[in-house]
Structure 1
Amino acid sequence: MSTLPTRVLVTGFEPFDGEHANPSWEAARRVAQHPPPGTNVTAVQISCVFGAAIDELRDAIEAQSPELVLCIGQAGGRPDLTVERVAINVDDARIPDNAGRQPVDEPVVQAGPAAYFSSLPVKACVAAARKAGVPASVSQTAGTFVCNHLFYGLAHLIATQHPGIRGGFVHVPYVPAQVAHRAVPSMAADDIATGLRAILVAARDTVTDIRETGGATH
């Protein structure tokens, strides 16, 4: 008897802050078009808007009933795929979101926990991406903009409404077209997608995370 494919939801953001593309969505689309074996992947674009982002994620989870959720966001300036370890319960926006909202020191969820750890095996995910030839590392901060907002929202949904789901967040670099006129790290969308496919397989198949160095001094 064959095993049914793992139902996977991947999300990427719409462009923001004056950009014409968002590598998180470009990569998410590619992963859904060519999913890793043993997975059935649906990609959903999320608005870069506080509040609405979590609402859209909730709707997608209810519509797709995934077993695994991987949210993806742009981290301009980072040189590699960064698998996020922790989401914190604070919105503190350096710039306005796409609806002009700019919360300062507000909770993502009123009376929610201070933080949630990813329910994915973050170090195994990093190792898998590297084995696939894509630079990757553990990140200790998802920021305080809409990416962290969505990551925290995902973790809270899992903790309070969908305990059978596992999920986490990965930040990805700019794509080359975004940095053609500035000296900032970038990565091709196809390479990002290759790393994400490896991360999904590791997240699906790894029960206990590996123990290896992945910390940071600051």
Structure 2
Amino acid sequence: MHKIVLIAGFEPFGGETINPAWEAVKDMDGLEVMPGYHVVTAMLPCVFDKVCHVLIDAIRGVQPDIVIAVGQAGGRSDISLERIAINVDDARIPDNLGQQPIDRPVDETGPAAYFSTLPIKAMMLALREEGIPASISNSAGTFVCNHAFYSLMHSLRGRPDVRAGFIHIPYLPQQAARFPGTPSMSDEQVAAAVLTAIRSAATTEVDLQVPGGALH
């Protein structure tokens, strides 16, 4: 029996016409990323009150074994494997429907935070071994990406059979070209990173205990 990996990437937001998260993963639908593991993709709306419903509906529909949501983080220089989602919406800019919640909980009944259940340390080392810059991030922000990450983990609470988490990626070169000095990564390399992350998540039963923290 084959296993399902749900990869969810965001639509463009913030005035952008493309989102590298979706560009990198949209062609993976149906891909057998490794023997027995098949990918299903979903596009996520950059809308606070919609993204959780789209993501949860996708999970109910395909019953995945692994879920990885992918979002754009312009200004970051590498693949950021998110460690933690926090229970707060604090939007610096409006979402794609003009909503801009400030200091609002993602879920009024939920805990302060959830940790990723992906083997993020093993994934980090696997990416670096492939020559792809990667690090552990301790903040997924407070915009729709964090909202989706928190909602994802909240929906899967009590489901140790499903591993899930969030990855942030840099701008594409054509986006970064508008902001001199801003880091970027090609969609080919981002796609390769996502595939490597999937394989690592699928083959690592217990995460590695290696340094990946931050001093500040």
Residue type at the aligned position of 2:19 = N
The runs of 5 or more residues in structure 1 that have no matched partner are none
> What is the SS of the residue equivalent to 2:33?
coil
Work out the CA distance in 2 between the residues paired with 1:83 and 1:147: 13
| Percent of aligned pairs sharing the same letter | 48
1:15 equivalenced with 2:28 (yes/no): no
Query: What is the one-letter code of the residue matched to 2:150?
Result: Y
1:88 aligned residue = 86
Q: Which aligned runs of 4 or more in structure 1 are off by greater than 4 angstroms?
A: none
After TM superposition, list the pairs within 5 Å mapping 1:165-184 onto structure 2.
165-183=162-180, 184=182
Cα distance in 1 for residues equivalent to 2:28 and 2:210: 27
Deviates more, 1:89-98 or 1:205-214: 205-214
**Secondary structure of 1:177 counterpart:** helix
What do residues 25-54 of structure 1 show as CA deviations (whole Å, max 9, x unaligned)? 011214436552122001100000002000
Shift of the 164–33 alpha-carbon distance from structure 1 to 2, 3 Å rule, reads closer
Which residue type is aligned with residue 115 of structure 1? A
Give the secondary structure class of the aligned counterpart of 1:63: helix
Match of 1:52 in 2: 50
Instruction: Tell me how far apart the structure 2 counterparts of residues 51 and 200 of structure 1 sit (CA, whole Å).
Output: 28
Q: Does 1:37 align with 2:25?
A: no
- 1:36 alignment partner, SS class: strand
Q: Distance in 1 between matches of 2:82 and 2:58?
A: 21
Distance 1:180 1:210 in 2: 37
- Aligned mates of 2:103, 2:32 — CA distance in 1: 38
Which runs of structure 2 are paired with 1:100-179 in the superposition (5 Å)?
Answer: 100-159=98-157, 162-179=159-176
Q: 1:28 aligns with which of 16, 25, 29?
A: 25
Candidates 82, 94, 97, aligned match of 2:95: 97
TM-score normalised by structure 2 residue count: 0.95
Q: 1: CA distance between counterparts of 2:114 and 2:151?
A: 10
What is the deviation of 1:212?
A: 1.1
**What's the Cα RMSD here?**
1.2
Superposition map of 1:180-199 within 5 A: 180-183=177-180, 184-199=182-197
Q: What is the deviation of 1:181?
A: 2.6
Q: After superposition, what is the alpha-carbon deviation per residue over 1:159-194, rounded to whole angstroms, capped at 9, x for unaligned?
A: 05x443110000000001112232210000010010
Q: Which amino acid aligns with 2:22?
A: W
